[in-house]
Amino acid sequence: MLRIHLASVFVDDQAKALDFYTRVLGFQMRADVPLGPGARWLTVGQGEDTVDLVLEPAGHPAVAPFREALVADGIPWTSLACEDVNAEHERLTALGVQFVREPATHGQMTIAVFDDTCGNLIQIASMG
């Protein structure tokens, strides 16, 4: 049986992304392997049986236009789960995170979208 092991998000600056995803969002650095000048295999995550997020360098020429189009259209790169979007919104706002979409309930799901400071919009979501 297959399972998801890693997911990726392209970032402008891996050091800045590591700071944001660990210090602000609360993930733990899981791997940091040098890959040559200016690049690292850098992952963050939490717990033993969770999917790690790869903080990928955004250097490939196809990445910039794709990310710019997503941001321009207000489309998040990925979604992170939480127990309570409203509480997480308050916590992150207090830490200086800029939300581009305030918490809103759609059926049984509540979502909000923030700027990760590294070129992406990220959604947070909770069910119920």
CATH of residue 51's domain is 3.10.180.10
Residue 1 lies in a domain: no
pTM comes to 0.93
Predicted confidence pLDDT, tens digits, the chain (128 residues): 888 899 999 999 999 999 999 999 999 999 999 988 878 999 999 988 789 999 999 999 999 999 999 999 999 999 999 999 999 999 999 999 999 999 999 999 999 999 999 999 999 999 97
Distance CA 81, CA 83 (A): 7
Which residues span the domain enclosing 15? Answer: 6-127
Query: How far is residue 15 CA from its own chain's centroid?
Result: 14
Sign of CA dihedral 16, 19, 21, 27: positive
